[in-house]
Amino acid sequence: MSLKSHDLEEKATQTIFEAGNEGIFQSELWKRLGLNSRDGSRIAQRLEERGFIERRKVLHEGRWTYKLFSKQKKVDLKSILDTPCIQCDDIDKCMIEGEKSPINCGQLDQWINLNSY
């Protein structure tokens, strides 16, 4: 994938995310990104295949089209305030390849399992 294509996918992802729960008509997204419908549809399909967005078929002004919705959620600071890491005595020693690590931490695993949707 070229850098240009990667940049366009990032811009598309961000624009769809900013549209929030309302979503955005794909034609509006193409306009904002300066794409034709063929290239725009390819980007939307790739983003959907990767699980970043959802495309919903909708009837708009008498024609079927797609509306695009982000599947990414905003992170709320409150959602992480009760992680075990916040009050962990080992946080200074915790690192990916260390003896204490988020990779194999039972406390963190348990918290993630309890807070997964």
Backbone dihedral region for residue 73 (phi beyond 0: left; psi -120 to 50: alpha; all else: beta): beta
Sole binder of ligand SF4 in the list 37, 79, 107, 110 (CB under 6 A)? 107
For the chain, the residue count is: 117
Nearest to ligand SF4 of 7, 82 (CB atom): 82
DSSP 99: S
The binding track of 67-96 with respect to ligand SF4, each residue x by CB under 6 A or -, is -----------------xx--x-xx--x--
Max Cα–Cα distance, the chain, nearest Å: 62
Q: Which residues bind ligand SF4 (CB under 6 A)?
A: 84-85, 88, 90-91, 94, 100, 102, 105, 107-108
